[in-house]
Each structure stands twice: as C-alpha cells, then as structure tokens.
C-alpha cells in the first residue's frame, strides 16, 4: 500500500503498457496491445468499443479474472501480474464487485442469500455483521421488501438490483459492470443507471463496459477502445459539471 | 466459507434436484444396505451356530474328535473304533492321573429303516448317541438306553399326521358330510363352547373330534386344517396331539454286524427339540449294537463318526485341557490307532476344544461374510459411480454459477469443498438410510433362510461397529466419487464459465 501511495494517491486502477496475448492454436491473438490507463478513486468511467475491440479483456484484467501478458497492472495498489489463483480470488472478493449483463444470480437461493454469498468467501465482515449488511444493501437498492424472493420471482430490473447489492457486499474498491442494462428495457435500464449514478455520488468507483453511447454518457469519462488500444478518452462535461 | 454454510448450500443444491439426488442416494443406499444386511444376517447365523454347539452339543470341558473334511460332526468319516474309544477312556497324563471322565460316541446305524404300525418313515435316519446330555433338549426324559429312542421332528410330524388320519377315520361318513356345511367361525364357536376349554385339555385332538361329532356340522377341509396346525406346532410346545407320540413303539430294521437284517422294538422316550442345525430327520438311539463295523487287523470293530471326550474336573480346574488335546492328537497320529489305519495317510484327525470349534465356526462364517460382502460391495461401487456421474452433470450444469462464485471471491479450494461436500452429503444420507434398511432387510433374508433351510430361530444381532463403519465408508465413498467432479469444478476458468451457456 505504501508503494501505491508513492505512485499516485487514490488510484484504483493503474495499467502501464498492459498487453494481453492469447494463443489460439498456432495463431497469436493480441487482444490488448499495450494500454495505459489510470482510474482514480471515486471516478465513473465507461469503456466503450465495438465487439472484439478488447474492452472485455480490459474488464477481465481489471476484474482480476486474468493476468496481463506483459506490462504492469495494479488494482487498489496491488500488482496482480504475478499473483497466484488463490491470491487473485481473494482480491476479486475484497476489491471487485461484478455486475453482469445477465445478472447471474444463483437461482436456488433467495435474493438475501445471493447477497450474503460473497461475504462467505472473504473475511471483510464478521459472521454476525453479514446478515445486517445484506439487509441494508438490499434496502439501498430498493428491494427491502423482496429479500426472501427467489430470482425467478423477480423482474429483470429487480434481479439486476440484487446483483448490484451483491457486488457491494464486501465493500469493494471498484464496481465492474459489463453491459448492465443490456438485458433490460429502456425504462428499467434508465433506473439501473440512476442507481449507478447515485452509488457514484456516494463516492463509489465504477467502471462500466458498454457499446451503447447513451449508457456511456452517464460516466465522467469515456475510454474508447479499438483494436486492442485506447483510441481516445472523452470527458463528459455535463456530468462533471453536475458533480462539481 | 464455514463448514455450516457449505453444508447448507450443498443441501439446497441436493434438495433442488430431488429426483436426481434421490437416484444417486439410492445407489449408495442399496450398496450399503446390502452389506449391512449380509453382515447382520451372517452374525445372526453365527450366533445360531454357536448356540447350537455350545448349548446342544459341546461344553467347555469337552474335546471333539472328527475326521478331516467334516465340519464339526457333519460329513465326518466313520473312523473311530471301539478300541480307540477304549484307549481314550484310559488315557493318563504324565503324572499318571486319569484325564478322561467320559467318552461319548456319535455314529450311524447301518441300513436303518423305522416303521410305525407297519408303515415305514421315509427320510429318516437313526443315529447313535451315547450321551443323553448331548442330545438337543427334549421335552421329556431324554435318557436313551437299550430299547428306547428319541425321535426327530420329521418322525414326530409324520406320526402326528398318522394320528390325525386315524382320528378322522373314526368319524362316520354321515358326520363327515355334515361337517362340510359348517363355516370356520362356527367351528371355532363349537370347539370353544362345547368342549370345555380344549386348549387347556391335554386331549385336544380327541376333543376336537368330539366337538365335530357333537355339532354334527363341520367342514372336512377345516377339520384337516385344524389338525394339521396342531401337528405343525413345535413338539417342544407340549401340544396334546404331540404328547400322544410319546410312549409309542417304533420298529427298527437294520443291518446287523453279521450281515443279516435285525429288528428291534424301540419305545419313544423323548422328542427332539428343534435345534437350528441338528438334522431334524435324525432320531437317536444309544445302543452300541446297532453301529456300523469295519474289519481292522482281522477283528470286527464298531466304528463311529465322531467322539466327544469329557475331561475330568481336575483337568478343568488346572486348565490342562490342551495337554489332553495334545495327547489325543499324538495318539491319532500313531499308526497303531485304528483311526489312522482306516483313514490312511490322506485324512487327518481333527481334535478340537470348544474354543477351537467356536473359532472354526467364526472363520467359516467370516469367509462366507467376506464373500457375500464382496458381492454387496460391488453394488456400492456401482452406487459410487452413480454419484460421480450425477456430480459431473451437476458441475457441468452449474458452470456459469461456478464462474459467478469465482468472480465474487471463491477460491479454487472453496469451489472444490462445495462440490465435495455435496457428494459426501449424498453418500452420507445414502449410507445412513442404507444402514436402517439393511437391518430391516437382514430380517427378510433371515426369514427366507429359515424357510429354505428349515433353520429355526436365527437371532437378530445388532452389529453396532459395522453400522458406524458403514457410515464412515459411505462418507469415504462420497469423497472418492466427488473428488474428480469437484476438482473439475475447481479448475474451471472463470472467464469461460461466465460466458458458458
């Protein structure tokens, strides 16, 4: 952590010249071709790009589901390039909150138990705190009344709210959302984006991957990715203005 | 994750696939159940055998002698001559003290046929037994001496039937016709009311006939049934019709020592109680002159299939049974003994104390248990493969979920434990239920064995250690069947898992 403070105070993601190369049989696929990216604490960043541009690879790397082939990647100050599977899993549990396009709730357990589950994987919260925290988080996302419901008893929007509550379970450093509104109608999608915005206003760091400019428009900063490189970055003045 | 949480989640998963889980549990259940049923059953069988030998046949102060190849007294060769018996009676230990109190013989009567009132009994053999104490407990006075016989169950039953026929023959045709009309209820009514509590009366059979006559309306088939039931009851239970067997005279024809057919009238002095392994077709006489003979060194000698040697009280007190046993073993190795002459060099003579016979029984039953258990264990193996199959399907089905769990912080080890606990849970439930069903199943097998082999009263023995072992083995089966699927689950790449459809 001391090292982290030396490199730049308050950086949640620090990617320096990160490349990712996949070996597909005899062909080498360069999914990421040396990107450098820094995301500050409390930022709301959208990563945009067409399919195959490398945005999913960036998401997987930031989410510690994968390691870079070359370059240095620090998540919350920790260099993840050399970590083993077990350490990576622990970082995922403590620092990252995933929100998926298809919600990915566990169907056989209730909304409440879904939120509780990640708290069992790491020890951020003591056993006796967990129940109360899960309840509070579900209340935060507006599902205080539906805690005992099973995923198949909830609407798409409600499921995504449960998923967001689950992402917040271990109070992560960053929330990684992969097309979180992709499976929702416009109105419900709007509401979910509003929820992200309010989380952002509470000081949460959010990285949102999308190909939809309207969704990306909610972020402070939009990082455009193309052919495995960062094409350009734009700052959303409106949002920034509202925030300041 | 804590063990409690893991188990809870595993149970939720099992519960949500009831049919699939049930079938997997069933596989383990059948395997464990089969093993437990066999172990429980054979333990009961062992107890029954031991009871027979310790209660009916041998005592702690006896040494049994049979030829090799026979198990206890079954299947032994007629090799022990009266000269051998004489030698043993006079056996002395090194200090010159007499070692043997009594030597009893077991033997066969050559060419024996039993007759009762001119009709012969099929399927019955007459054996020789000199010690009445060695006979299975008898309802009457079991002392057999010249002119007396203790009859086995087969003969008892056969005689009952004969009485029944006679009693019924005493009825007139007109009576019989009228009996046809009566219902069973009426029959019971008549018997109970008119014949003054025949159940307490020792002459029940006659009273039954009297009741039918009195009522003048009875069904022939029911009369037959009633009397048949009367005979079916164990002779030991003192039913009146059985009581009539005692004191009757049986006629025995046998092959005499001079090769001619001899005849004897024998009075029935006792009925053999059902004994689990005593041949119920055998009746016993104690008389020496019926026994089979062999010419040994030009002299005709009586030969017996086995000896039961009772040592003196002194030997028992000084715990010198082994010395006597060694002396006997030495004698039967000596080419001068008649047994050695008859058996030649091929067969040995088995000299065993009660303890040795008990351990011999245990060994034999143990072999049987191991053999049957191995067959049952195959069922468990099949069950294990079933659980493995179900777990592999489960892992495949939940690939995406595994991805989610890994993304939210589950380590490979955590995923492994989760699936392993699911397999162990399935197998534990199977083992637990299997133990209970196995105990129940053993009773069915015991009933079947009793019916097929006509063995009575195989006891029901709880083998607690085996039940605990079975549950532990069940859990181990869970580990073995779950480890590969769980390992598969743990290895899943989260990125691919999250994309998995």
End-to-end CA distance of chain B: 27
Contact assignment for B2 to A122 by CB distance below 8 Å: no
Cα distances (Å, whole numbers) of residue A86 to A65, A173, B233, B410, B414? 11, 19, 74, 9, 10
**pLDDT higher than 50, residue A241:** no
| Residue B482 tokens, joined | 């779950």
pLDDT at A145: 92
Tell how far CA A152 is from the center of its chain: 24
| Residue A104 tokens, joined | 């990915």
| Residue A112 tokens, joined | 């409440």
* Strands of the sheet with B125-129, listed across from one edge: B119-120, B113-116, B249-255, B261-271, B148-151, B282-285, B125-129, B100-108, B306-311, B62-67, B349-353
Partners of residue B409 in chain A, C-beta under 8 Å: 89-90, 92-94, 118, 121-122, 170
End-to-end CA distance of chain A: 29
Please, what is the average pLDDT of chain A?
89
Contact assignment for B408 to A127 by CB distance below 8 Å: no
Closest-CA distance of chain B to residue A100, Å: 9
A122 at B interface, C-beta within 8 A: yes
pLDDT at B226: 56
B412-453 vs B354-397: helix axis angle to the nearest 10? 140
pLDDT at A1: 38
Closest-CA distance of chain A to residue B387, Å: 21
Longest dimension (CA), chain B: 99
Bridge partners, residue A47, by sequence:
A209, A223
Partners of residue B2 in chain A, C-beta under 8 Å: 120, 127
Contact assignment for B408 to A118 by CB distance below 8 Å: yes
pLDDT at B140: 42
> What tens-digit pLDDT sequence spans chain B (501 residues)?
778 888 888 888 888 888 999 999 999 999 999 999 988 888 888 888 787 777 666 677 888 888 876 655 566 788 888 899 989 988 887 777 888 888 888 888 878 888 988 888 877 788 887 766 656 544 444 445 667 888 887 788 788 777 767 766 665 666 555 555 554 555 555 455 444 444 444 444 455 555 555 544 445 455 555 555 555 544 444 355 666 787 888 998 888 777 788 888 888 887 776 554 455 677 888 766 677 778 888 888 888 888 888 888 888 888 888 888 888 999 998 888 888 888 887 788 888 888 888 888 889 889 988 998 898 889 999 999 999 999 999 999 999 999 999 999 999 999 999 999 999 999 999 999 999 999 999 888 888 877 776 666 778 888 889 899 999 999 999 999 999 999 999 999 999 999 887
Of A60, A93, A120, the CB nearest to B5: A120
Chain A from 25 to 84: CB within 8 A of any B CB = 60, 63, 65-66
pLDDT at B189: 56
Residues 6+ apart with CB under 8 A from A74: A4, A7, A11, A13, A14, A15, A80
pLDDT band at A143; cut points 50, 70, 90? very high
B400 at A interface, C-beta within 8 A: yes
Contact assignment for A90 to B408 by CB distance below 8 Å: no
> The tokens 């009309």 sit on which residue?
B181
Phi, psi of A179 (to 5 degrees): 45, 55
Vertex B378: Cα angle to B376 and B381 (nearest 5)? 120
Vertex A161: Cα angle to A59 and A236 (nearest 5)? 55
> The tokens 């027979």 sit on which residue?
B52
E strand spans, chain A = 11-24, 27-40, 44-48, 70-75, 78-79, 96-99, 174-178, 205-210, 221-226, 229-235
pLDDT at B319: 81
Closest-CA distance of chain A to residue B434, Å: 28
Q: Quick one: DSSP state of residue B259? A: S
Tell me the DSSP string of A147-203.
TT--GGGS-HHHHHHHHHHHHTTT--SEEEEESTTTTS-HHHHHHHHHHHHHHHHTT
C-alpha torsion sign, points A48, A52, A56, A62: negative
Chain B from 413 to 442: CB within 8 A of any A CB = 413-414
User: Are A174 and A91 contacting, i.e. CB atoms less than 8 angstroms apart?
Assistant: no
Cα distances (Å, whole numbers) of residue B227 to B155, B161, B197, B469, B474? 16, 8, 17, 50, 52
**pLDDT higher than 80, residue A74:** yes
| Separation between Cα atoms, residue B270 and residue B416, nearest integer Å | 71
Phi, psi of B275 (to 5 degrees): -125, 140
| Residue A143 tokens, joined | 């599902």
Mean pLDDT of A67-88: 92
A156-167 vs A127-140: helix axis angle to the nearest 10? 140
Give Rg (Cα) of chain A. 18
Provide the pairing of β-strand A70-75 with A221-226.
unpaired
> The tokens 């009575």 sit on which residue?
B456
| Residue A86 tokens, joined | 């077990």
A98 at B interface, C-beta within 8 A: yes
| SS (HEC) of B145-212 | CCCEEEECHHHHHHHHHHHHHHHHHCCCHHHHHHHCCCCHHHHHHHHHHHCCCCCCCCCHHHHHHHHH
Instruction: Give the whole-number percent of chain A exceeding pLDDT 70.
Output: 93
User: Are B42 and B461 contacting, i.e. CB atoms less than 8 angstroms apart?
Assistant: no
User: Are B85 and B105 contacting, i.e. CB atoms less than 8 angstroms apart?
Assistant: yes
| Separation between Cα atoms, residue B168 and residue B433, nearest integer Å | 53
Instruction: Read off the pTM.
Output: 0.70
- For residue B409, give the chain A residue with the closest CA: A93
Longest dimension (CA), chain A: 54
pLDDT at B144: 52
pLDDT digits (tens, 9 = 90+) for A35-71: 999 999 999 999 999 888 889 899 999 999 999 999 9
- For residue A176, give the chain B residue with the closest CA: B407
């Amino acid at each position: 952590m001391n090292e982290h403070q030396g490199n730049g105070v308050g950086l949640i993601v620090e990617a320096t010249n990160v490349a990712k190369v996949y070996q597909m049989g005899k062909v080498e696929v360069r999914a990421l071709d040396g990107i450098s990216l820094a995301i500050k604490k409390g930022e709301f960043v959208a990563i945009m790009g067409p399919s195959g541009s490398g945005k999913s690879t960036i998401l997987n790397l930031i989410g510690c589901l994968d390691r870079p082939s070359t370059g240095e990647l620090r998540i919350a100050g920790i260099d993840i390039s050399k970590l083993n599977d077990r350490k990576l899993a622990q970082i995922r549990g403590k620092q990252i909150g995933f929100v998926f396009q298809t919600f990915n709730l566990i169907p056989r357990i209730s909304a409440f138990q879904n939120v509780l589950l990640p708290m069992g994987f790491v020890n951020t919260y003591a056993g006796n705190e967990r129940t109360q925290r899960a309840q509070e988080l579900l209340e935060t996302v507006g599902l205080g009344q539906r805690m005992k419901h099973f995923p198949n008893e909830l609407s798409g929007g409600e499921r995504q709210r449960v998923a967001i509550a689950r992402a917040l379970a271990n109070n992560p450093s960053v929330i990684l959302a992969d097309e979180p509104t992709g499976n929702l109608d416009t109105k419900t999608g709007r509401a979910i984006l509003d929820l992200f915005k309010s989380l952002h206003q509470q000081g949460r760091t959010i990285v949102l991957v999308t190909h939809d400019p309207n969704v990306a428009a909610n972020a402070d900063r939009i990082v455009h990715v193309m052919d495995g490189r960062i094409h350009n970055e734009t700052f959303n003045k409106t949002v920034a203005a509202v925030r300041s | 994750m804590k063990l409690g949480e893991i188990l809870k989640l595993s149970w939720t998963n099992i519960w949500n696939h009831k049919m699939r889980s049930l079938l997997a549990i069933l596989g383990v259940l059948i395997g464990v159940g089969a093993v437990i049923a066999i172990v429980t059953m054979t333990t009961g069988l062992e107890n029954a055998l031991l009871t027979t030998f310790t209660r009916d046949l041998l005592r702690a102060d006896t040494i049994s002698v049979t030829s090799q190849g026979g198990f206890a007294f079954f299947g032994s060769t007629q090799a022990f001559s009266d000269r051998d018996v004489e030698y043993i009676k006079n056996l002395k230990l090194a200090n010159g003290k007499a070692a043997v109190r009594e030597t009893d013989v077991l033997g066969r009567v050559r060419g024996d046929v039993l007759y009762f009132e001119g009709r012969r009994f099929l399927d019955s053999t007459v054996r020789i037994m000199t010690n009445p104490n060695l006979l299975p407990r008898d309802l009457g006075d079991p002392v057999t001496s010249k002119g007396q016989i203790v009859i086995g169950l087969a003969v008892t039953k056969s005689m009952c039937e004969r009485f029944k026929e006679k009693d019924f023959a005493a009825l007139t045709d007109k009576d019989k016709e009228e009996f046809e009309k009566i219902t069973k209820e009426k029959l019971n009514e008549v018997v109970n009311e008119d014949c003054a509590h025949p159940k307490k009366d020792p002459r029940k059979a006659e009273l039954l006939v009297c009741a039918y006559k009195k009522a003048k309306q009875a069904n022939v088939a029911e009369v037959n049934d009633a009397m048949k039931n009367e005979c079916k009851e164990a002779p030991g239970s003192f039913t009146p019709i059985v009581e009539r067997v005692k004191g009757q005279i049986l006629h025995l024809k046998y092959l005499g020592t001079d090769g001619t057919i001899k005849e004897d009238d024998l009075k029935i002095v006792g009925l053999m109680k059902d004994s689990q392994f005593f041949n119920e077709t055998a009746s016993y006489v104690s008389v020496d002159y019926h026994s089979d003979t062999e010419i040994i060194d030009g002299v005709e000698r009586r030969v017996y299939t086995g000896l039961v040697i009772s040592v003196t009280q002194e030997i028992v007190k000084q715990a010198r049974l082994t010395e006597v046993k060694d002396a006997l073993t030495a004698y039967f190795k000596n080419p001068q003994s008649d047994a050695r002459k008859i058996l030649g060099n091929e067969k040995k003579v088995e000299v065993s104390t009660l303890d040795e016979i008990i351990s011999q029984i245990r060994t034999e039953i143990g072999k049987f248990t191991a053999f049957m258990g191995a067959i049952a264990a195959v069922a468990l193996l099949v069950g294990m493969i079933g659980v493995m199959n179900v777990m592999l399907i489960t892992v495949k089905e939940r690939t995406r979920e595994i991805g989610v769990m890994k993304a939210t912080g589950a380590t490979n080890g955590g995923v492994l434990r989760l699936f392993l606990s699911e397999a162990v849970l399935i197998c534990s439930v199977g083992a637990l239920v299997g133990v209970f069903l196995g105990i129940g199943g053993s009773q069915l097998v015991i009933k079947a064995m009793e019916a097929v082999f006509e063995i009575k009263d195989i006891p029901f023995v709880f083998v607690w250690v085996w039940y605990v072992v079975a549950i532990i083995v069940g859990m181990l089966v869970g580990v073995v069947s779950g480890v590969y699927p769980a390992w598969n689950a743990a290895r899943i790449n989260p990125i691919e898992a999250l994309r998995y459809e």
